[in-house]
A and B are shown apart, each in its own frame.
Chain A
Amino acid sequence: MFNIVQARFLAPGIKRFVLEAPRIARKQKPGQFVILRIYEEGERIPVTIESSDPERGTVSIVVQSAGKTTHLLNSLETGDQVLDLVGPLGKPSEIANYGTVVVVGGGVGTAMAYPTAAALKRAGNRVLSIVGARNRELVILESEMRAVSDALMITTDDGSYADKGFVTDKLRQLIQNGTRIDLVVAVGPIVMMRAVAELTRKENIHTMVSLNPIMIDGTGMCGGCRVLIDGKSEFACVDGPEFDAHSVNFEVLVQRNAMYRDAEQRSLAEFQRVLSREESDQEVEHTCAVARREQP
Chain B
Amino acid sequence: MSPTAKKSLNPLSPKERIKVPRQLMPEQAPEARARNFEEVNLGYDPELARQEALRCLECAKPTCTVSCPVGVKVKEFVELIVAGDFLGAAAKIREDNVLPAVTGRVCPQEDHCEGKCLLSKKVKPLGIGYLERFVADYEQRMGTHALPNVTPTGKRVAVVGSGPSGLTVAGDLIQKGHKVRVFEALHELGGVLVYGIPEFRLPKQIIREQLDYMREMGVEFETDVVVGRTVTIDELMAEEGYDAVYIGTGAGLPQFMGIPGEHFNGVYSANEFLTRINLMKAYKFPVYDEPMLDLRGKNVAVIGGGNTALDAIRSALRLGAAKAYVIYRRSDAEMPARAEEVHHARQEGIDFQMLTAPVEFLSDGKGWLTAARCVRMGLGEPDASGRRRPVPIQGSEFELPLSVAVIAIGTSANPIVQSTTPGLGTNQRGYIQAQDQTQRTTRKGVFAGGDIVTGSATVILAMGAGRRAAKSIHEYLTTGEW
Contacts and interface: CB of A to CB of B under 8 A. Distances in A.
Contacts of B263: 226, 228, 233, 249, 252, 255-256
Interface stretch (B46-54, B125-133, B265-273): B265-273
A27 interface: yes
A130 B462 CA distance: 51
Nearest to B271: A222
A106 interface: no
B265 A222 contact: no
Most B CB contacts (10 A, CB to CB) among A84, A220, A256 go to A220
B289 A86 contact: no
B254 interface: yes
A83 interface: yes
B224 A86 contact: yes
Interface in B175-189: 185-187
A287 interface: no
Contacts, number: 123
A27 B231 contact: yes
Given A252-B367, A256-B263, A267-B286, A27 B229 contact: yes
A259 B251 CA distance: 26
A125 to B, nearest CB: 26
B287 A41 contact: yes
A266 interface: yes
Contact of A24 (B223, B230, B285, B290): B230
A222 B272 contact: yes
B265 A221 contact: no
B433 interface: no
Interface residues of B, number: 42
B349 interface: no
A85 B230 CA distance: 11
Nearest to B254: A223
A220 B254 CA distance: 8
A223 B272 contact: yes
Contacts of A205: none
Given A44-B290, A69-B289, A220-B416, A89 B226 contact: yes
A219 interface: yes
Interface string B61-95: 00000000000000000000000000000000000
Contacts of B254: 221-223
B271 A83 contact: no
Interface string B204-235: 00000000000000000001111001110000
A291 interface: no
B223 A84 contact: yes
Given A216-B272, A219-B185, A41 B253 contact: no
A87 B227 CA distance: 10
B280 A216 contact: yes
A192 B226 CA distance: 31
A37 interface: yes
Contact of B226 (A87, A264, A267, A270): A87
A263 interface: yes
A226 B269 CA distance: 10
A230 to B, nearest CB: 13
A170 interface: no
B291 interface: yes
A217 interface: yes
A105 B182 CA distance: 39
A159 interface: no
Given A233-B262, A259-B265, A86 B226 contact: yes
B272 A27 contact: no
Most A CB contacts (10 A, CB to CB) among B287, B288, B291 go to B291
Contact of A217 (B186, B231, B268, B287): B186
A224 interface: yes
A29 to B, nearest CB: 10
B225 A23 contact: yes
B269 A238 contact: no
Contacts of A24: 230
B293 interface: yes
Contacts of A220: 252-253, 414-416
Interface in B354-385: 366-367
Interface in B283-332: 285-293
B231 A86 contact: no
A260 B229 CA distance: 29
Given A84-B224, A226-B263, A267 B289 contact: yes
B443 interface: no
Interface string A33-46: 00001000111100
A267 B187 CA distance: 22
Nearest to A90: B229
Most B CB contacts (10 A, CB to CB) among A83, A221, A263 go to A221
A109 interface: no
A166 interface: no
B256 interface: yes
A235 B291 contact: no
B229 A89 contact: yes
Interface string A180-208: 00000000000000000000000000000
A87 B254 CA distance: 21
Interface in A265-284: 266-267, 270
A258 interface: yes
B275 A219 contact: no
A30 to B, nearest CB: 14
A15 interface: no
B276 interface: yes
A246 interface: no
Nearest to B239: A26
A16 interface: no
B230 A223 contact: no
A258 B263 CA distance: 13
Contacts of A222: 254, 269, 271-272, 275
A104 to B, nearest CB: 26
Contact of B416 (A84, A219, A228): A219
Given A84-B224, A88-B229, A222-B272, A255 B367 contact: yes
B185 A41 contact: no
A223 B224 contact: no
A238 B288 contact: no
Given A87-B230, A238-B416, A216 B276 contact: yes
17 contacts: A43-B280, A84-B187, A87-B229, A89-B226, A217-B275, A220-B253, A220-B415, A221-B253, A221-B414, A222-B272, A233-B256, A233-B263, A255-B263, A255-B366, A259-B293, A266-B286, A267-B289
Interface of A: 23-24, 27, 37, 41-44, 68-69, 83-89, 216-224, 226, 228, 233, 235, 238, 249, 252, 255-256, 258-260, 263-264, 266-267, 270
Given A221-B275, A252-B367, 5 more contacts: A41-B288, A220-B415, A221-B185, A221-B195, A267-B286
Interface of B: 185-187, 195, 223-226, 229-231, 251-254, 256, 262-263, 265, 268-269, 271-272, 275-276, 279-281, 285-293, 366-367, 414-416
User: Which 5 interchain pairs have the tightest Cβ spacing?
Assistant: A263-B291, A255-B367, A223-B269, A43-B289, A222-B272
